[in-house]
Chain A
Amino acid sequence: MSFSVTAPSPRTKLISGLIVGLYALVTLAPLLWIIATGFKSGQDSIHYPPKVLFEPTMEGYVNLFTTRTRIPSDQPPKDTTSMTWYEEIVYKKGEIIAEPSKYGERFLNSTVIGFGSTALCMFLGTIAAYAFSRFKVPLKDDLLFFILSTRMMPPIAVAIPIFLMFKNLGLNDTYFGMIMLYTAVNLSLSVWLLKGFMDEIPVEYEEAALIDGYTRFEAFIKVVLPQAITGIASTAIFCLIFAWNEYAFAVLLTSGDAQTAPPFIPTIIGVSGKDWPAVAAGATLFLVPVMVFTVLLRKHLLRGITFGAIRK
Chain B
Amino acid sequence: MAEIEIKNLRKEFDEFVAVENSTFKVEDGEFFMLLGPSGCGKTTTLRMMAGLELPTSGQVLINGEDVSFKRARDRDIAFVFQMYALYPHLNVRQNLEYPLRSQGNPASLIHEKVAEVSKILKISHLLSSPVGRLSGGDRQRVALGRAIVRDPSAFFMDEPLGALDAEFREEMAEELRALHDRMGATTIYVTHDQLEAMQMGDKIVVMNHGVIEQFGAPQEIYDWPATKFVADFIGFPAMNFLPLGHHKVSVGNTFVAYKDYQIDVPACLEEFDGSLDVGVRPEHIRLSREPGGIPATVVASEYLGTTQIVSVEIDQAILKSRVSSTEEYSVGSSINLIFDYRSISLFDHSSGRALQSEGNREVLACG
To the question of whether A and B form a pair in one complex, the answer is yes
Chain A positions within 8 Å of B81 at CB level:
204, 207-208
A213 touches B89 (CB 8 A): no
A311 within 8 A of B: yes
A56 interface residue (CB < 8 Å to B):
no
**B-side interface residues, number (CB < 8 Å):** 29
B322 interface hit (Cβ, 8 Å): no
Contacts of B131 in A (CB 8 A): 308-309
Closest A residue to B76 using CB positions:
A213
Q: Which residue of A lies closest to B53 (CB)?
A: A207
Most chain A CB within a 10 A radius of its CB, from B51, B79, B88: B88
Determine if B84 and A305 form an interchain contact, defined as CB atoms under 8 angstroms apart. Answer: no
Q: Contact flags (1/0) for B77-119 with A, using CB distance below 8 Å?
A: 1110101111111000000001100110000000000000000
Task: Check A212/B146 contact, CB under 8 A, given A309-B131, A311-B136, A311-B163.
Answer: yes
Q: Do A306 and B102 form a contact, CB below 8 Å, given A210-B71, A211-B50? A: no
- Interface set, chain B 52-83, CB cutoff 8 A to A: 52, 71-73, 77-79, 81, 83
1/0 per residue, CB under 8 A from B, across A52-81: the answer is 000000000000000000000000000000
Query: In this assembly, does B39 line the interface, its C-beta being within 8 Å of a C-beta of chain A?
Result: no
Q: How far is the CB of B89 from chain A (nearest CB, A)?
A: 4
Q: Which of A204, A215, A218, A312 contacts B85 (CB 8 A)?
A: A204
| Beta-carbon contact of A205 and B87 below 8 Å | yes
- In the bound complex, residues from chain A placing their C-beta under 8 Å from that of B146 are 208, 212
- Residues 229-267 of chain A, each 1 if its beta carbon lies under 8 Å from chain B, else 0: 000000000000000000000000000000000000000
The answer to whether B88 touches A309, judged by C-beta atoms less than 8 angstroms apart, is: yes
**Which chain B positions have C-beta within 8 A of A309?**
84, 86-88, 131-132
A310 touching B73, Cβ below 8 Å: no
Q: Indicate if B133 sits at the interface (CB-CB under 8 A).
A: yes
Q: What 1/0 flags go to A195-222 for Cβ under 8 Å of B?
A: 0000000101101111111110010000
Q: Are B98 and A212 touching (Cβ within 8 A)?
A: yes
Chain A min CB distance to B332 (Å): 48
Residues on B with beta carbons closer than 8 Å to the beta carbon of A205 = 85, 87-88
Give the distance to chain A from B7, nearest Cβ to Cβ, in Å.
22
Asked if residues A211 and B77 are in contact (CB atoms below 8 Å), the reply is: yes
| Chain B residues whose CB sits within 8 angstroms of the CB of A210 once the complex forms | 51-52, 71-73
- Docked Cα-Cα span, A208 to B160, in Å, equals 14
Q: Mark A295-312, 1 if CB is under 8 A from B, else 0.
A: 000000000011111111
Which residues of B have CB within 8 Å of A209?
87, 98
By a CB distance below 8 angstroms, the chain A residues around B89 are: 226-227, 305
Query: Roughly how many angstroms separate A210 CA and B71 CA in the complex, as a whole number?
Result: 8
Question: Would B79 and A207 count as touching, CB distance under 8 A?
Answer: yes
13 residue pairs bridging A and B, Cβ less than 8 Å apart:
A202-B85, A205-B87, A205-B88, A211-B51, A211-B52, A211-B72, A211-B78, A212-B73, A213-B99, A213-B102, A215-B73, A308-B88, A311-B136
Q: Chain A residues in contact with chain B, CB under 8 A?
A: 202, 204-205, 207-215, 218, 223, 226-227, 305-312
10 closest A-B pairs by CB: A309-B88, A213-B102, A204-B85, A308-B132, A212-B99, A226-B89, A208-B85, A211-B79, A213-B73, A210-B72
